[in-house]
Amino acid sequence: MRVLIFSWEYPPRMVGQLAEYVSALSTQLVKNKIETYVITYHDSLTSIVKEANGVRVVRVANPVRTHIGVLTWDLTLNQEVERASANIYYQKGKHVDLIDVYDWHFIPAAVSLKNALDIPFIYSVESLEDHRSANANTPHNMSIKSIEWLGFYESEKVSVKSEWMRDEVVRIHNVPKEKVKVVSPSANSWMKDVLKLYRNIAKGGCNK
Amino acid sequence: MKNKLSVMMFSWEYPPRVIGGISPHVFFLSKSLAEIGVKVYVVTCDFPGAPAHEVIDGVEVNRIDSYKNPAPDFATWVYMMNLNMQREAAAIVNKMDAKIDVFHVHDWLVATAGIGLKHVFRKPLLVTMHSTEIGRRDGLHTDTEKMIHETEAWLTYEAWKVICCSDYMVSHVKWAFGLPDDKLVKIPNGVNTSVYENPKKEDCEAFRAKFALPTEKIVLYVGRLVYEKGIHILINAVPRVLEKVDAKFIIVGSGYMKDQLLNIVRSMKLEHKVLFMGFVDDETLLRLQKCADVSVVPSLFEPFGIVALEAMAAKSPVVVSDTGGLSEIVNHDSTGFKAYPNNPDSLAWGITKILLDENYKEKIKKNAYKKVQEKYDWEKIADQTKQVYKIVLGEYSKSFWA
């Protein structure tokens, strides 16, 4: 199985705790014989680099250096994520089983790749704009929420880390409850749950 | 390769959504390409009352859900809109049996959609640069302007060829983004002369009576009321023209300078001589262009100057500022009057000359119309564009993407 993971942070670039989680997850995936690529942001561009843990990492940089906010930064970085993903797709015989996207930053790229190349994606929720910016409803917040909404709408499945987050996703974005899977990293069955979710999507998915 | 060349054209405006010159450009280019056997898909923003999908003269038009929530600012809206545009276009292309051969985008407003699609489908991207941020703003002063400039630079980097519609724009774009010569192509903009050919004789007398007194000549300005269009220079020229000849100045279009301009007119006590029309419908605009005694294009920055060409096609004599694409369209004293840019005296001189010298006026009208028919015909422009597609596809077929 060939999986692409999109995360805006990955070691050595650590912003919150997501970097460590994605690092642990991808290491485990490789151990379970999953061909794993992480596509992430870094200040300078790299090609595909196979790191010590066996994870293949592509770091993309934003071609536009001046920005007026996180949204414009994000929406001009996604094309580079698409380019890196498409390169893997075409180099590997036009086959990628699924994309696992962490939070809203790279939802646009996942949505394009799904619509263009039929690669299904999982939206893995770390946090939601409604929690990060409680009670804020400026055009800025609404734009981010609309990207989150698009992710819920276009994804094959949504992955959350707790029952509470599942309820929040259902409450805030009206996502059907059965679309949301709880995969808790503290549970003993963590890796088994991840693999089960991946296999379900790679099998059924929206692949031709 | 299948026999029929197919192109997907991206534009943030397409009729009935008309904001500037890109809308008519993409409309006529698409239609004319379809007439010479190119399969054309247009992807554009939605517009109230216009269908999401329709076929116009063989062109498949798709109007996407442009981002409708309040956006923090215009530039952010553009990128949010592009997200939807790319998503919907990706789905359309995916469902086709034969994929698109070329993606062709117009200006930075659809840059990210075009760049993304190029990579996911691995097809060549072409861009027509109608304008640049550094030119529009006469420099880069804010982060927004720098960001847009860098987006344009990225777009021209990603494009296989960069099309510009005048020699001036070719050199300007080359300078602004440091592009190699062999990446740049000049194809002029076109004008459709047939829309100005009304079978029944236009009754200008009755029509002009709605706007001007019988003693007043009509001086027409069509364009956005923004700095780069130099409308403030025309307003400053108004009293200088009125010293010599009685005239009514009709200003069509809107923009952020409107209130400022109104104040200037008021302070000169010339409200009765300057008429701000705002946007007008196509029919009124056509008739104004046909009935005007002179059309003025006083731009400070003008990549091409389609309004001058339209006036020439409508057989209205033109006074333009000698800058950018306007310098190439107009030959001084032959197809129009070229005024010194940013100079109200020079502009007033030209307007007055045309309004008072009947022989000069007639000569200019005749020569201008002839030039339009010879050089700016859409059929020829479509043919040149198709040749560029073929050259690009020839190079592409030898690349590892093919």
For chain B, percent helix, then strand, then coil, each to nearest 5? 50, 15, 35
Kindly indicate the confidence band of residue B198, based on its pLDDT and cuts at 50, 70 and 90: low
CB contact under 8 A, A112 and B90: yes
Q: Answer yes or no: do B250 and B393 share one domain.
A: no
Amino acid type, A133: S
Dist. CA B111–CA B21, nearest whole Å = 17
Kindly indicate the confidence band of residue B98, based on its pLDDT and cuts at 50, 70 and 90: confident
CATH code for position B16: 3.40.50.2000
Q: Answer yes or no: do B203 and B131 share one domain.
A: no
Residue B1, domain member (yes or no): no
pLDDT higher than 70, residue B51: yes
CB contact under 8 A, B91 and A113: no
Q: Answer yes or no: do B233 and B295 share one domain.
A: yes
Q: Answer yes or no: do B33 and B46 share one domain.
A: yes
Alpha carbon of A185: minimum distance to chain B alpha carbons (Å): 32
Q: Answer yes or no: do B328 and B388 share one domain.
A: no
**Average pLDDT of the residues in B370-383:** 92
Q: Does B137 touch chain A (CB under 8 A)?
A: no
Q: Does B70 touch chain A (CB under 8 A)?
A: yes
In terms of DSSP bridges, do strands B59-64 and B53-56 run parallel, antiparallel, or are they unpaired? Answer: antiparallel
Q: How many CB atoms lie within 10 A of CB B136?
A: 18
Q: Is the pTM of this model over 0.80?
A: yes
Q: How many domains does chain B have?
A: 2
* E strands present in B17-142: 39-45, 53-56, 59-64, 102-106, 125-128
**Average pLDDT of the residues in B177-203:** 85
Number of H helices, E strands in chain A: 7, 8
Q: Does B400 touch chain A (CB under 8 A)?
A: no
Residue A87: CB partners within 8 Å, gap ≥ 6?
Answer: A48, B119
Q: Answer yes or no: do B183 and B228 share one domain.
A: no
Q: Answer yes or no: do B173 and B218 share one domain.
A: no
Residue A207 has a pLDDT of 43
Which residues on chain A are in Cβ contact (under 8 Å) with B157? 63
**Domain range for B74:** 6-190+377-397
Q: What digits encode the pLDDT tens for the residues B334-368?
A: 999 999 999 999 999 999 999 999 999 999 999 99
**Average pLDDT of the residues in B139-154:** 98
Mean pLDDT of chain B: 95
Residue B1 has a pLDDT of 47
Q: Answer yes or no: do B142 and B234 share one domain.
A: no
Residue B191 has a pLDDT of 87
Q: What are phi and psi of B141, to 5 degrees?
A: -110, -25
Q: What digits encode the pLDDT tens for the residues B99-120?
A: 899 999 999 999 999 999 999 9
Q: What is the DSSP letter of B224?
A: -
CB contact under 8 A, A78 and B112: yes
Q: Answer yes or no: do B126 and B202 share one domain.
A: no
Dist. CA B350–CA A70, nearest whole Å = 50
| Domain at A2-203, CATH homologous superfamily | Glycogen Phosphorylase B; (3.40.50.2000)
A interface residues, B as partner, C-beta within 8 Å:
63-69, 71-72, 75-76, 78-79, 82-83, 86-87, 90, 108-109, 111-113, 115-118, 138-140, 142-143, 146-147, 150, 154
Residue B202 has a pLDDT of 63
Q: Does B24 touch chain A (CB under 8 A)?
A: no
Kindly indicate the confidence band of residue B378, based on its pLDDT and cuts at 50, 70 and 90: very high
Name the residue ranges covered by the structural domains of chain A.
2-203
Residue pairs between chains A and B whose CB atoms are closer than 8 Å: 105
Q: Answer yes or no: do B259 and B360 share one domain.
A: yes
Q: Answer yes or no: do B203 and B183 share one domain.
A: no
CB contact under 8 A, A90 and B122: yes
Given the cut 0.90, state whether the ipTM is greater than it: yes
**Nearest-CB residue to A75 (from B69, B80, B117):** B80
Q: Answer yes or no: do B248 and B306 share one domain.
A: yes
pLDDT higher than 70, residue B200: no
Tokens of A204: 């059924």
Q: Does B195 touch chain A (CB under 8 A)?
A: no
CB contact under 8 A, B143 and A66: yes
Residue A118: closest C-alpha in chain B = B94
Residue B346, domain member (yes or no): yes
Q: What digits encode the pLDDT tens for the residues A115-170?
A: 999 999 999 999 999 999 988 999 999 999 999 999 999 999 999 999 999 999 99
**Average pLDDT of the residues in A23-46:** 96
Q: What digits encode the pLDDT tens for the residues A183-199?
A: 999 999 999 999 999 99
Candidates B73, B120, B140, B143: best to mutate against A (most CBs of A within 10 A) is B120
Q: What are phi and psi of B248, to 5 degrees?
A: -115, 130
Residue A208 has a pLDDT of 38
Q: What digits encode the pLDDT tens for the residues B273-298?
A: 999 999 999 889 999 999 999 999 99
Mean pLDDT of chain A: 95
